[in-house]
Amino acid sequence: MSVSFYRCCLLFILALSLTQVLGCSNRPVRNLASDVSLIQKGETTRQELLTLLGEPDSRRQLAENQEEWLYEEQIAARFQDLPYADRFFKSPGSQRIVVIVQGDQVLDTRYESQSRQDSSWQDDFDWQQTP
């Protein structure tokens, strides 16, 4: 084997390693499944919630003194964070925390997780298809 072949392989491995490192360093990771355990119903205040989870992804007014805060995160697919590769890999699902805030206190919390495979059972039945 020639020296240029080894040099080419070394450059390829170096470029691949650099792509891995740069692709993973651009976005903070939220783990909503564990974050929901930090919220105590009736004890956690609005300010503590903002400190723990940050600004919600969306807010909705439910009643005069009651809001719904939504924290949502797409579950990253393998290799999805690589530069230019994200368009080829779809997220396998999503997770979210729904928090009901009444006044200055957290009234209720709910964790939800959804996988793309959750509705795959629909494809198992041919009776849904019309001729």
CA distance 98 to 10: 48
Residue whose entry in the numeric block shows the structure tokens 């503590």: 48
Q: Is 65 contained in some domain?
A: yes
Structural domain includes residue 114: yes
Check: CB of residue 106 under 8 Å from CB of residue 43.
yes
| Number of folded domains that form the chain | 1
Residue 74 lies in a domain: yes
Exposure of 103 in the CB half-sphere (CA atoms within 13 A): 6
- The pLDDT tens digits for 22-48 are 655 555 567 787 888 889 999 999 999
- The yes-or-no verdict on residue 112 having pLDDT over 80 is yes
Q: What range defines the domain where residue 56 resides?
A: 30-119
Domain assignment of residue 96, yes or no = yes
Q: Cα–Cα–Cα angle for 87, 122, 71, nearest 5°?
A: 50
Domain-located, residue 2 = no
Query: What per-residue confidence (pLDDT) applies to 7?
Result: 84
Reply yes or no on whether the pLDDT at 116 is more than 80: no
Cβ atoms of 59 and 69 closer than 8 Å = yes
Q: What is the CATH number of the domain that holds 103?
A: 3.30.1450.10
